[in-house]
Structure 1
Amino acid sequence: MFQRIYRVLAGVKCLRVCQLLIIVISMVCYVSYFFYVSEAMCRDGSPTCCATEELQKHILGDVSANQPTSIVEDILFQVNSDTCKTFPNGDKKIWLLVAVVSTYEHFRTRNIIRQTWGSAIQDNAPGNVCLVFFVGKQQSNFAHWIQFQNEIHKYADVTQINKDDTYLNLVHKSIGILKWTHSFVPSVKFILKIDDDVVLNLPNLYYRLLMHSYQSKFIMGYVGRGNKPQRMKTIKNYFPKDYYSGDVIPNYMYGPSYVISGDLVLDLLTVIPRIPLLRIEDIFITAISASYTDAVHVGRCGFLYTTSENVDHFQWGTSFVSSHSYQPSELASIWNYSRIQSHHLSYSAIFLQQL
């Protein structure tokens, strides 16, 4: 009798194990199908795809013999943020650094970011997230200087580099972000480089990063491909022919917002001093410099290049991550609309919704 009961119980246990295996296998197949569909969408040009692409390697040829410049060493931090130094329970490990490229006099824009999406960076985040504004130096009037001093003392979230705040010096800010990251948060998992005119959908960003937590050395964003270099010297994105003679610019990530995995930072800082400087920030960092590392591109992942006129894109649960070229008042309006029309979702809920 006991043997019969044992066999029955064993059969029930085996049945449960088999059912569990079927569920696990089904989920694996479903996720695999999801990625296959995502890859197909990417090939079809969908802005919400998220596919890995190899970079063109060694775009400028062999640079190993080049005498290294002091471009990284020359970047100094005149004001240094303390915002990434304190977290609850003494946990200093940073999952994501949100590095906002701003202009010295954009006081209102920075305040709006702090009040809108910047105020929610820790909501439902898988780990510690910190936000730092990166600005350059500027010969401003005394009133602006006082305002800036008040800002850095009140918020402690601004880092200032020793380069003039001009469009052509944007590349120095991006290099400064890499240097600052390596110096102060070297174990960070991801860095989001983002301009201060960008609307950001945080839950979707976190979902995208979680999906790529186990991928190494990548740059994620909107991939620019097939673009022709601007050869007119009067254009701000002037691309000298003696720098690169190709008729098509190598694939790169558009500059308003892109993610660099933390394990790629030191590699970029190592190769940048040996590469002739190009003043077009996104191409120099994400195409030319990255081509001398083991980096891959992951795009487009919901990063929009053009301004989205559909505010519904920024509701929680949609697939869009970011869009740029908004005025400060528009940043606030979109944020407020999204908060009213949507509800906060945890990253696990977002994952299930995307499936």
Structure 2
Amino acid sequence: MTFQLENLSSYLPSSNFSYSFTSKRVMDMYEEGQLIANADLCPNSGENLKLMILVTSAPNHHDARMAIRQTWGFYCRHHNVGFGFLVGASIQPSQNDVIQIEQRTYGDLIQTRNVDFYGNLTRKTVSLLEWVDTHCSQVPFVLKTDDDVFINIPRLLALLEKQQQAKRSIFGLPVRKKSPYRTVGFKYSVNKSEYEPDMYPNYLNGPAYLMTQDSVHDLYRQALNMPFLKMEDVFLTGLVARSLGIRIVDVPKFMSFDHKIPFDIPKMREIISIHSINPSEQFLIWAYMRPRSLRTLLEY
């Protein structure tokens, strides 16, 4: 199966970029709907919200979710920002029972019907789009992020204020001129039957990216019709978005670190996201960045 993407020279490595797959379309291997829909996370379809944040998380990442709830996720409650965690289905019935209990306790979970494992991240992200398209279609912006990311909400909202007129856009940290890993058995490896070219199109780094609402429906419907690729950020922001002419916008304040974060607090206050953060570091960063008084904390 070969797709030709034409007249997108500003987005892709060439103006006539093609790629071949032998894999099935996403819709042929995707389970629609959710085991836990939790539409209440987005009241009135999000018409009174500034932003919806959905954090993708593995079912057994309870500690990561708790850390976010008690740190930057706390901020969302006071600033018209919707917030929830999106987890996949577990092959262990007991783990699904634990998810049900966690949802009854905190009320902030969405559970997809697709089994949760690394190779299924693309379907997980498609489920996120489906949920927003179904339950949160009026919210102006949607942030997709992961449970090992610290989000600086004030800086994110400042970006939103500057981009109120933005249309059909995805904002994040771009990855340019990246070649697929071909090493067999490597976590990120993609063989030529899955993706033939020796270069990915430019795409946005997967741990955090921001979408305008008017892009979500088209991304969801188009993703279902595209051949499956397990690299979800390449798939959604580097292939699907470009097939639709949706622009990707370079925002350097979405940051990614391959090593432990440098605790440069003045610099950290200016960024939007920090990747590769464990639960303990969530608390540490929050302690540095939050206002000192309880009153200010509740307003922060």
In which range does the TM-score fall when normalised by the shorter chain?
0.7 to 0.9
1:101 Cα deviation after fit? 0.3
What SS is found at the alignment partner of 2:290?
A: helix
Residue equivalent to 1:138: 90
1:333 corresponds, among 253, 277, 284, to 284
- Residues 289 and 258 (structure 1), Cα distance of their counterparts in 2 relative to 1, 3 Å cut: same
Alignment of 1:175-324 (within 5 A): 175-306=126-257, 309-313=261-265, 318-324=269-275
- Residues 136 and 58 (structure 1), Cα distance of their counterparts in 2 relative to 1, 3 Å cut: farther
Q: Which amino acid aligns with 2:102?
A: E
Contact 2:25–2:227 at 8 Å: present in 1 too?
no
Identity of aligned residues (%): 29
1:68 Cα deviation after fit? 6.6
Q: Which has the larger radius of gyration?
A: 1
Contact 1:136–1:164 at 8 Å: present in 2 too?
yes
- Residues 176 and 138 (structure 1), Cα distance of their counterparts in 2 relative to 1, 3 Å cut: same
Alignment of 1:38-77 (within 5 A): 54-56=10-12, 59-60=17-18, 70-71=27-28, 74-77=31-34
Contact 2:175–2:203 at 8 Å: present in 1 too?
yes
Greater percentage in helix: 1
Alignment of 1:62-101 (within 5 A): 70-71=27-28, 74-86=31-43, 92-101=47-56
1:72 Cα deviation after fit? 8.4
Instruction: Return the alpha-carbon distance in structure 1 between the equivalents of residues 218 and 93 of structure 2.
Output: 39
Gaps (5+ residues) in structure 2? 1-8
Q: Which amino acid aligns with 2:36?
A: V
Contact 1:54–1:296 at 8 Å: present in 2 too?
no
Offset from partner CA, 1:223-278 (integer Å, 9 cap, x none): 00121111123122222324443332211011111111110011112222221110
Q: Which amino acid aligns with 1:81?
A: N
1:152 corresponds, among 87, 91, 103, to 103
Offset from partner CA, 1:28-62 (integer Å, 9 cap, x none): xxxxxxxxxxxxxxxxxxxxxxxxx9422774469
Offset from partner CA, 1:278-328 (integer Å, 9 cap, x none): 011100000011111121111133011215623334778x32111111111
TM-score, structure 1 normalization: 0.72
Contact 1:75–1:172 at 8 Å: present in 2 too?
no
- Residues 340 and 310 (structure 1), Cα distance of their counterparts in 2 relative to 1, 3 Å cut: farther
Contact 2:53–2:142 at 8 Å: present in 1 too?
yes
Contact 1:79–1:158 at 8 Å: present in 2 too?
yes
- Residues 71 and 301 (structure 1), Cα distance of their counterparts in 2 relative to 1, 3 Å cut: farther
Instruction: Return the alpha-carbon distance in structure 1 between the equivalents of residues 164 and 276 of structure 2.
Output: 29
Residue equivalent to 1:30: none
Offset from partner CA, 1:108-149 (integer Å, 9 cap, x none): 2111111110010244x4xx311111001113374x455322
1:172 Cα deviation after fit? 1.0
Cα root mean square deviation, aligned: 3.0
Q: Which amino acid aligns with 2:31?
A: D
1:179 Cα deviation after fit? 0.3
1:71 Cα deviation after fit? 4.8
Contact 2:208–2:254 at 8 Å: present in 1 too?
yes
Offset from partner CA, 1:193-212 (integer Å, 9 cap, x none): 00001011111111112111
Q: Which amino acid aligns with 2:173?
A: Y
2:75 corresponds, among 120, 123, 126, to 120
Instruction: Return the alpha-carbon distance in structure 1 between the equivalents of residues 166 and 184 of structure 2.
Output: 39
Q: Which amino acid aligns with 2:11?
A: L
Contact 1:219–1:260 at 8 Å: present in 2 too?
yes
Residue equivalent to 1:129: 81
Q: Which amino acid aligns with 1:231?
A: R
TM-score, structure 2 normalization: 0.84
1:104 corresponds to 2:56? no
Residue equivalent to 1:44: none
Greater percentage in strand: 2
1:161 Cα deviation after fit? 0.7
What SS is found at the alignment partner of 2:145?
A: strand
